[in-house]
A and B are shown apart, each in its own frame.
Chain A
Amino acid sequence: AQSVSQHNHHVILSEAASLELGCNYSYGGTVNLFWYVQYPGQHLQLLLKYFSGDPLVKGIKGFEAEFIKSKFSFNLRKPSVQWSDTAEYFCAVNARGGYQKVTFGTGTKLQVIP
């Protein structure tokens, strides 16, 4: 079974600060990796995903993530956060092969102070 751990539960940053949210996964096979964002009062939105190829993945709104296979990590980064990035961020994984259930990390609440 797969599992996902997010080390930061609550992060507070000032606007323009750089962001890095940690994510590690555990699974014996090949995986797909995702970052989802949930803005206050809204539903989950896909930020970015990694299936294969270039381990540096760029997503929407200036976010990127890097898959490091040797570390089983998929950390999310943004060079300069904005107040509008205040949200909860979930790292997720599923097994490669299509139509597989997704396992979520516990989430990181990001609060950006103007």
Chain B
Amino acid sequence: GAVVSQHPSRVICKSGTSVKIECRSLDFQATTMFWYRQFPKKSLMLMATSNEGSKATYEQGVEKDKFLINHASLTLSTLTVTSAHPEDSSFYICSAPSADYAGETQYFGPGTRLLVL
């Protein structure tokens, strides 16, 4: 199956700093990627849809100025958490639909655990 990677896998930062998380589709092109957030013992919450070459689409309640998304190429989307605060600590997961089955199946990255001190 298709492979999606994320970097870094874990990051610890100080409050007020910005953190960039990368999501890469390794063996396929992804014009669309999705960013999710998973709280402890909770389900995945969709944050935004990342579109190559255009602006991301954010879900209701997600601050687009705080969670900056850039989809610069067909294999890379980045999520930047700006001016991070402790409440932003979470597990961030990206996914990308593969062209197999006409994009009906999504492949998930391993996630990035963010801890803001």
Interface of A with B (CB < 8 Å)? Answer: 32, 34, 36, 42-46, 49, 51, 90, 94, 96, 98-107, 109
Contact = CB atoms under 8 A, between A and B. Distances in A.
A98 B102 contact: yes
A96 B95 CA distance: 17
B111 A98 contact: no
B97 to A, nearest CB: 5
Given A36-B108, A43-B109, A49-B105, 12 more contacts: A42-B110, A43-B110, A44-B108, A46-B107, A51-B101, A90-B44, A94-B106, A98-B104, A100-B103, A101-B49, A102-B95, A106-B43
Contacts of A107: 42-43
A8 B104 CA distance: 27
A51 B101 CA distance: 9
Interface in B21-65: 31-32, 34, 36, 41-44, 46, 49
B21 to A, nearest CB: 14
Interface of B: 1, 31-32, 34, 36, 41-44, 46, 49, 93, 95, 97, 101-111
A103 B108 contact: no
B101 A99 contact: no
Contact of B104 (A42, A43, A51, A106): A51
Contacts of B105: 32, 34, 46, 49
Summarize A's interface: helix, strand, loop or mixed.
loop
Contact of A96 (B104, B109, B110): B104
Contacts of A42: 110
Contacts of A100: 97, 103
